[in-house]
Structure 1
């Protein structure tokens, strides 16, 4: 039976599990970027939100062979599970159930995420159902698309309010584009203060049309273990269909590659438009993941 260790300190988790995350940094991108971000916020003395914060390392013969975490700041506060032995995945569900922790959603890599969700559903007498099918992509080179009028530029302080509104609109619009209801949307919502930090760090990019009007936003995370994750990618409805997303993602990806970072992103497999766009500019599939809900 693998050993499971829960952490409440992301710095301690990264100390113990960092080698595993670094060994496959593209697949581990969410766990590594989120863990580093919360560890940095802890060092700055910023309070955490009132929702679960824990990390998990799975060990076999003393070596970390799998990880999971629960840090999502949005309901229903899904677990995030990376590859791990089947028995460890099922044991994680049993441990959380035994300590009375309600689990209504599990995201992450197949088959581990599904095994956690199915065991949880068995324990509570429910069912585990797929809510979203996700694909992780990586680009090692960029295919430059046709260029729309205008230019890409870094967001500035005066763009913070607009960038915050667009970031927070992304989840709802993405759900609708994938054929789901707006009410089913889940995603990270930022306050203006956090957006201002990301703008200052050069993580948010905007496309201006030929008149100088901002028509698109593409953001990315800072690299962790050499990998930067692009997203969200957002064009408001009245500006879609002009190629802004393709041009911006291609340009931002090229900038990341030029720094020596690897570039990756996620797509919703039910959104055919975004999948075609990213494949056309050079992204290639790495692994399929899933977001599950437990009824």
Structure 2
């Protein structure tokens, strides 16, 4: 029933069933590019599973598949994943719930809801006006500040408290990757955002963070809008995911032209006794 999903596979190309859901499931493109990932598709291309080791699996099922058939396909997938370490699953809410129930019952593992994300794309950016400052690509000179911002981002996004010095290596890696930018005011960084990945038709923005003392001044809006303009020059469409529990960030994105393209519910499987 299953075969390997390759990078730029025909099953996730333009004109396929997947194409209409591509923004919502954009991370599948990134996962498929990893050499150590587990990426599967059904022979008819109506179901795709993609997982990087140690992370949630992403599961897409075509809207053309009836609910009863979806359940049968999920049961087949759960059997196929026997012995695979699966921390959790990410998909649209109905599929997530269906898979969680099947996988939990088959393996005797409880599960819990983690978060729900809203997927957005920006067909046409709306630049905010009268925002002080300018865009600047991050450099290694900013690594200490970036590490502080990454620690703040983890605390805001996941409730995970870490010391900034634990983020120095990640900060250096992000700078070297070339997608990290700051909004600068008086030659000082006041906000950060990252163009993290480019798929065939989209570029994904993540790690958008502004420290408390610089918020509500339009810096993040201006920064993300400028990144959208960069992406547009590459003939790609900007996209991102936002936690639905953060109304402020969702409003910021909508105000600069981002449109909703579907929810992704994330659950975790608990291995604790």
TM-score range, shorter chain: 0.7 to 0.9
Q: Does 1:194 align with 2:173?
A: yes
Q: Does 1:147 align with 2:130?
A: yes
- Gap regions ≥5 residues in structure 2: 162-166
CA distance in 2, matches of 1:164, 1:182: 14
- In the alignment, is the contact (CA less than 8 A) between 2:197 and 2:205 conserved in 1? no
- In the alignment, is the contact (CA less than 8 A) between 1:83 and 1:110 conserved in 2? no
Going from structure 1 to structure 2, the CA distance change for 1:15 and 1:259 (only over 3 Å counts) comes to closer
- In the alignment, is the contact (CA less than 8 A) between 2:59 and 2:90 conserved in 1? yes
Q: Does 1:228 align with 2:203?
A: yes
Going from structure 1 to structure 2, the CA distance change for 1:69 and 1:153 (only over 3 Å counts) comes to same
SS at 1:274 equivalent: helix
Q: Does 1:69 align with 2:50?
A: yes
What number of residue pairs does the alignment pair up?
254
Residue matched to 2:182 = 206
CA distance in 2, matches of 1:228, 1:147: 27
CA distance in 2, matches of 1:238, 1:56: 46
- TM-score normalised over the length of structure 2: 0.81
Q: 1:92 aligns with which of 71, 77, 86?
A: 77
SS at 2:43 equivalent: strand
- In the alignment, is the contact (CA less than 8 A) between 1:103 and 1:120 conserved in 2? no
Q: How far 1:208 moved relative to its partner?
A: 0.7
* CA RMSD of superposed structures (Å): 2.6
SS at 1:5 equivalent: strand
SS at 1:182 equivalent: coil
Going from structure 1 to structure 2, the CA distance change for 1:132 and 1:107 (only over 3 Å counts) comes to same
- In the alignment, is the contact (CA less than 8 A) between 1:218 and 1:234 conserved in 2? yes
Residue matched to 1:26 = 23
Residue matched to 2:39 = 55
- In the alignment, is the contact (CA less than 8 A) between 1:22 and 1:225 conserved in 2? no
Q: Please, which moves more after superposition, 135-144 or 157-166?
A: 157-166
Residue matched to 1:273 = 248
SS at 1:142 equivalent: coil
Going from structure 1 to structure 2, the CA distance change for 1:192 and 1:171 (only over 3 Å counts) comes to closer
Going from structure 1 to structure 2, the CA distance change for 1:281 and 1:161 (only over 3 Å counts) comes to same
SS at 1:82 equivalent: strand
CA distance in 2, matches of 1:78, 1:89: 16
Q: How far 1:170 moved relative to its partner?
A: 2.0
CA distance in 2, matches of 1:65, 1:246: 37
Going from structure 1 to structure 2, the CA distance change for 1:123 and 1:137 (only over 3 Å counts) comes to same
Going from structure 1 to structure 2, the CA distance change for 1:29 and 1:6 (only over 3 Å counts) comes to same
Residue matched to 1:83 = 61
SS at 2:23 equivalent: coil
- In the alignment, is the contact (CA less than 8 A) between 2:118 and 2:243 conserved in 1? yes
Going from structure 1 to structure 2, the CA distance change for 1:27 and 1:133 (only over 3 Å counts) comes to closer
Going from structure 1 to structure 2, the CA distance change for 1:123 and 1:205 (only over 3 Å counts) comes to same
1:245-294 CA-partner distances (Å, limit 9, x unpaired): 11111121122123321111111001111111111111111111111122
Going from structure 1 to structure 2, the CA distance change for 1:66 and 1:194 (only over 3 Å counts) comes to farther
